[in-house]
Amino acid sequence: MNRRQQSTRQPPRSPHYPTDTPAHDSFGRRIDYLRVSLTDRCNMRCVYCMPEQGAQFMPRPELLTSAELITVMRAAAAAGFRKIRMTGGEPMLRRDIVELIRAIKAIPGIDHIAMTTNGLRLHKQAPILKAAGLDRVNISIDSLNPDKFRQMTRGARLEEVWAGIEAAHDAGLVPLKLNAVIVRGLNDDEVLDLAALTLDNAWEFRFIEVMPLTGVAGVAQDGVVSTAELIDRLEAVYGPLEALDQPGSDPARPYRIRGAAGTIGFISSVTDPFCSTCNRMRLTADGRLHLCLLRDNEIDLRTALRHGATQEELEQIIRHAVHVKPWGHGLPEGVLPTLRGMSALGG
Ligand code: SAM
Ligand code: SF4
Is ligand 1 within 6 A of the CB of residue 86? no
Return the closest-CA partner of residue 317 out of 327, 307, 304, 328: 304
Ligand number nearest to the C-alpha of 208? 1
Measured on CA atoms in the order 127, 114, 35, 270, is the torsion positive or negative? Answer: positive
Please identify, by atom number, the ligand 2 atom nearest to the C-alpha of residue 153.
4
Furthest-apart CA pair in the chain: how many Å?
59
Return the closest-CA partner of residue 83 out of 257, 300, 249, 228: 249
User: In the prediction, which pLDDT does 216 show?
Assistant: 87
DSSP string, 258-292: TT-SSEEEEE-TTTS--GGG--EEEE-TTSEEE--
Domains of the chain (ranges plus CATH)?
3-344 (3.20.20.70)
Q: Are 79 and 25 in contact, with CB atoms under 8 Å apart?
A: no
Please give, one letter per residue, the 3-state secondary structure of 171-205.
Answer: HCCCCCEEEEEEECCCCHHHHHHHHHHHHHCCCEE
Ligand number nearest to the C-alpha of 337? 1
Task: For residues 109-121, give the mean pLDDT.
Answer: 97
Task: For residues 117-146, give the mean pLDDT.
Answer: 98
User: In the prediction, which pLDDT does 8 show?
Assistant: 61
E strand or H helix at 253, and its extent? Answer: strand 253-256
Taking only the tens place, the pLDDT of each residue in 54-66 is 889 999 999 999 9
User: In the prediction, which pLDDT does 9 show?
Assistant: 72
Q: Give the predicted TM-score (pTM) of the model.
A: 0.94
Give the integer Cα–Cα distance in Å for 317 and 208. Answer: 32
